[in-house]
């Protein structure tokens, strides 16, 4: 795993998107529909805008996701498996 992957995982919102992909591939981008995420307090309009304009493009540029904007679908990218061990640990920690 390289520094770019760690940079991607440094942000909580990006980690949440990637952790969701561990079990749910593909998934909704969380911006266009109500199936976004269970994190209600963060599903406000500004958070959706930030997800759409900042976090999803970054994850896509890192190769961790493929984002199909036309269908609002996110799937694992070509470099997703590099991050899997850290994501599994983060998911385990988050679920306590």
Query: What's the pLDDT tens digit per position in 72-95?
Result: 899 999 999 999 999 999 999 877
Q: Is CATH 1.10.3720.10 the right assignment for the domain spanning 3-94? A: no
Residue spans of the domains in the chain: they are 3-94
| 81 within 8 A of 18, measured Cβ to Cβ | no
Q: Mean of the per-residue pLDDT values for the chain?
A: 82
Cβ(28)–Cβ(70) below 8 Å: no
Q: Give the per-residue pLDDT at 49.
A: 84
> pLDDT tens across 14-44, in order?
999 999 999 877 766 665 443 344 444 445 5
φ, ψ of residue 85 in degrees (nearest 5):
-60, -40
Quick check: pTM over 0.75?
yes
Strand order across the 27-28 sheet = 27-28, 73-76, 65-68
The token pair at 53 is: 């304009």
């Amino acid at each position: 795993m390289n520094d770019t992957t760690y940079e991607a995982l440094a942000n909580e919102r990006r980690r949440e998107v990637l952790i969701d992909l561990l079990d749910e591939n593909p998934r909704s981008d969380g911006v266009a529909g109500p199936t976004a995420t269970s994190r209600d307090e963060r599903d406000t309009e500004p958070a959706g805008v930030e997800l759409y304009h900042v976090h999803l493009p970054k994850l896509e540029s890192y190769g961790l996701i493929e984002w199909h904007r036309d269908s609002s679908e996110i799937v694992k990218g070509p470099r997703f498996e590099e991050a899997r061990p850290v994501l599994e640990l983060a998911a385990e920690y988050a679920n306590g």
